[in-house]
Amino acid sequence: MCPQTERPNGTASADRDFVAWNEEMVERYDIERYYERSHRVVRWLEHRRLDALVEMASPQPGERVLEVGCGAGHVLEQFRNVQRTGVDLSEGMIRRARARLGIDATLLRASAERLPFEAGEFDIVVCTEVLEHVPDPAAVIAELTRVAAPGGRVVVSIPNEVNIDRIKRTIRRLPVLRQLLRTLAAEGNEWHLHHFDLALLHRIVEGQATVARLRPLPAGVLPLRYVALLHGHTDTGRRA
């Protein structure tokens, strides 16, 4: 379990504890293996998520794109002919992203709760499968909307933990399915500090942004992921 995930008073020691714990999770849950060698059903779902993120962001040539929690660069790699910037708390992830993206992206180590950018600096801000990993997801939403330009697009995605947990329980009860989808069944959620669903997403954006568009993946009948386009509120999204 993450040490001092509540981070009382935002102390430096608590921040260091969280950074160290996050780095441990990065090593334990290899993002390269997840994207490239997980079960084909998982990879199919993740490709659907990537497609939905890009479609909802609707990037135009030359626009400024920021990914918060860029990991190893798999998402930022999908954005072409734009000015790409990525931040991640993990030095290890930044190294991997730099190896993937080369000099065509600006990559920085930073906390999603305290982004090192001016207000309104980016046309598109993407934060995908990150909110469940941070101590204060509402603070992250505030930062995403702050650094987005007026009229910019903020696109986030979250897991729908209720359905994911339901599927895992079913897989574990049926030996045939457990063998077939062992990657999904074995996937833990100790890296998740919050049990996300659509209701929690609406709670953390309340007063800061509006969910303008929502796409359940792979389908509305059984959503395992949600991709959302957020419109920041002028009074909170533009504060310096």
Measured between alpha carbons, how far apart are the two ends of the chain, in Å?
34
**Average pLDDT score over residue span 183-196:** 69
> Using CA atoms, how far apart are residues 53 and 229, in angstroms rounded to an integer?
9
Is 134's pLDDT higher than 80?
Answer: yes
Q: Which tens digits make up the pLDDT trace of 139-168?
A: 999 999 999 999 999 999 999 988 888 877
- Which residue, among 119, 132, 122, has the nearest Cα to 238 in the 3D structure? 119
Q: At what angle do helices 198-205 and 137-147 cross, to 10 degrees?
A: 60
pLDDT score recorded for residue 3: 40
Considering only 26-35, 87-96, 167-176, 210-219, which range has the smallest mean pLDDT?
Answer: 167-176
Is 118's pLDDT higher than 60?
Answer: yes
Q: Please tell me the CATH code under which domain 11-237 is placed.
A: 3.40.50.150
Q: Which tens digits make up the pLDDT trace of 214-238?
A: 999 998 888 999 999 999 986 443 4
Domain ranges of the chain: 11-237
Considering only 62-66, 159-163, 178-182, 198-202, which range has the smallest mean pLDDT?
Answer: 178-182
Is 55's pLDDT higher than 90?
Answer: yes
pLDDT score recorded for residue 98: 96
> Using CA atoms, how far apart are residues 224 and 117, in angstroms rounded to an integer?
32
Is 4's pLDDT higher than 60?
Answer: no
**pLDDT averaged over every residue in the chain:** 86
